[in-house]
Structure 1
Amino acid sequence: MAPIPTPPAEPQDSPDGYVGLDAANAERLARQRGWPTVRSLPPGAIITMEYRVGRLNFEVRDGRVARAWKG
């Protein structure tokens, strides 16, 4: 049986620090801090709820990050 791959480590970064930032700057900062996937979503977007290691989600309202969470 093949070994189960070890998922990559997530950056030691708090999503709360992105709230209030301009969306484009927040995405650029997140990538600089090591997030391989950054997803920007409009308020109320319908999304799947699976957890993805290494993904940072932004809810963007009026060009600013209103909410940020991992996965």
Structure 2
Amino acid sequence: MTPTPPAQPDDVPDSYLGLAAPEAERIARERGWTTVRALPPGAIITMEFLQGRLNFEVENGTVIRCWLG
């Protein structure tokens, strides 16, 4: 039997664009994201998809990009 991962929050990643990083993280956690990751522009990251993770690209303290996994 294959395990079923928990459902991700029903959320729109673009709704975080333009928010201050701390506020975006707070809102994401309130909406049910278990992992929130803030990264600088151009950061080198692995490409694995992690269920329940929300990624922010943050420049000058503001979210400029957001994606799932």
Do they superpose with TM above 0.5?
A: yes
Partner AA of 1:28 in structure 2: R
Aligned mates of 1:4, 1:24 — CA distance in 2: 36
Equivalenced residues, count: 69
Give the TM-score normalised by the residue count of structure 2.
0.98
Partner AA of 1:24 in structure 2: P
What is residue 67 of structure 1 aligned with on the other side?
A: 65
1:34 aligns with 2:32: yes
Q: CA deviation at 1:4?
A: 1.7
Unaligned runs of 5+ in 1: none
Give the TM-score normalised by the residue count of structure 1.
0.95
Q: CA deviation at 1:5?
A: 1.2
Deviations 1:1-55 (A, max 9, x none): xx22110100000000000000000000000000000000000000001111100
Partner AA of 2:63 in structure 1: V
Q: CA deviation at 1:69?
A: 0.3
Q: Percent sequence identity over matched residues?
A: 67
List structure 1 segments (4+ residues) > 6 angstroms apart after TM superposition: none
Aligned mates of 1:16, 1:55 — CA distance in 2: 15
> Over aligned residues, Cα RMSD in angstroms?
0.5
Q: CA deviation at 1:56?
A: 0.2
1:9 aligns with 2:18: no
